[in-house]
Structure 1
């Protein structure tokens, strides 16, 4: 498998195994298949595993699979959905989250620790769920005054190798975080042909994922692409029941012309979507949401095939599907 530099981490595989699939966040799977998928990913050359406590049992799966002694070349990331704690509580909450993750995964350190909250201005009002904003969103003042110093201390202590952000917040604040000093070493950025974050987007304005991606690269921040198949919207069929009003369901409906185009090509839409995302300029590694070995095989085939050609890219863009 090809590799690319990821910020300060050095070279990593072009594909990252995400914990959502093996943790059962993306449709049903069982522990045996989750373990088999994890092992198959490593055997195929994937050397970066992206986990999070909110991915149900994925961290426990990692811990049980490697029993505290993973292959030395593997790197691991995790996240904290911090929100906006009361002043002075941020560092303790980040440390408690990290402690729980290290215990579950049976590790002594994590290579990248992500803030997995939507960063927003202090006075921002969300279009969806604003009454609960402190649960899912980190206010800018909390980020600059407490989150960044706490992350820097964890790096200095050797408990994490680097820190990062999940760039799904209000675009102006994500861009400000990338321009801030100290800057994150890595950012997770939406990378799909719809430019859609689906159900995790709570603000009304355009998400600007390509602007965010370009800003990250301009600052020397590593980029992990996420949502290549946009929660299943860019696959042949959604693998879970969702309401017709769910943004992911609406994206699936909007992508019907894309599936028709893939059918005309004789191609699987999930494979094409992964190839599209891997070919986006600036994407260092692409996080997979696969939950079983069959889905993993599709992603591996996409990486082996390489980016789409200019003609296929042009035909996709002519569909006018970007948000």
Structure 2
């Protein structure tokens, strides 16, 4: 059994940056600092996450402990809504974006630079975009480069080569789906890549948005996930465990090598999630019952 300790948890900053609703800058910055004080040693951000990069930069300036690892992204431009996206994968656009990220974050080098949302790249441009990512690594802009987003079929070869160091997918490893266990994680293990599981609560479906999304599904959420969340909620109610706690402890219990990009919109959500992980793995019978719903 792999140990999903605090060093395997990365604080994602989309919610803190304002893409899920309005936030108070000071509260977002203080939540990031609190996460670091609790032992979280990595922050994940992106230009597309509202004001997240700015808040991360402020948190880093305030933090007096060991510098955390910082990951950000390139390709998708600044936005305050998850369902509105603008992309720029041109050479000048990507270089301008990375320069801006370094300046905003107040760092000289990015620990992991992700290619944001590879599915949005026209197939004919993939080779050029990948070469630009290699440029960022070779020139020292980033220590590692990764793919940040669920992989389209045309990116399958990059799971096996040595171009990218990290693969981050969302909604592919949680209590609604373990698809990553069938393909991506084994491929990452074979090619010596790290795997980041983003959206452990399936964009809030397995947490604070369960009732809203179940009754009024957003256009981007598939019905299969909603039906699965309902099954998980029934298990949570039967064992009297809050849905989000059950979902996070299920993730903690999975015997595979990966890191979790934990989302939070405020300090209360962050602390609740960290406490869920502190509770440890699920009893085997509950874990297996959840697995059975996923088959």
Distance change (3 Å), C-alpha of 1:81 and 1:243:
farther
Match of 1:228 among 196, 200, 206: 200
Distance in 1, Cα, partners of 2:168 & 2:277: 19
Q: Is the 8 A contact 2:75 2:87 kept in 1?
A: no
Distance in 2, Cα, partners of 1:57 & 1:102: 14
Instruction: Note if 1:248 corresponds to 2:221.
Output: yes
Distance in 2, Cα, partners of 1:161 & 1:235: 34
Distance change (3 Å), C-alpha of 1:3 and 1:176:
same
Aligned to 1:315: 289
Match of 1:74 among 68, 71, 95: 68
Distance in 1, Cα, partners of 2:64 & 2:45: 14
Instruction: Note if 1:157 corresponds to 2:139.
Output: yes
The secondary structure found in structure 1 opposite 2:221 is helix
Distance in 1, Cα, partners of 2:280 & 2:100: 38
1:1-323 map, 5 Å: 13-67=7-61, 71-81=65-75, 90-119=90-119, 137-143=120-126, 145-170=127-152, 172-180=153-161, 182-189=162-169, 190-195=172-177, 210-238=182-210, 243-248=216-221, 250=223, 251-252=225-226, 254-318=228-292, 320-321=293-294
Distance in 2, Cα, partners of 1:314 & 1:212: 22
Uncovered stretches (5+) of structure 1, i.e. residues with no partner: 5-10, 120-136, 197-206
The secondary structure found in structure 1 opposite 2:43 is strand
| TM-score, normalising length: structure 1 | 0.77
Distance in 2, Cα, partners of 1:31 & 1:311: 43
Q: How many residues get paired?
A: 281
Distance in 1, Cα, partners of 2:100 & 2:240: 46
Q: Is the 8 A contact 1:118 1:169 kept in 2?
A: yes
The secondary structure found in structure 1 opposite 2:241 is coil
Q: CA offset at residue 247 of structure 1?
A: 4.0
Q: Is the 8 A contact 1:262 1:268 kept in 2?
A: yes
Distance change (3 Å), C-alpha of 1:43 and 1:69:
closer
Q: CA offset at residue 91 of structure 1?
A: 3.0
CA offset digits 1:36-82 (Å, max 9, x no partner): 21011000100110000111001111122233877443110001235
The secondary structure found in structure 2 opposite 1:67 is helix
Distance in 2, Cα, partners of 1:91 & 1:55: 21
Deviates more, 1:31-40 or 1:231-240: 231-240
Uncovered stretches (5+) of structure 2, i.e. residues with no partner: 77-85
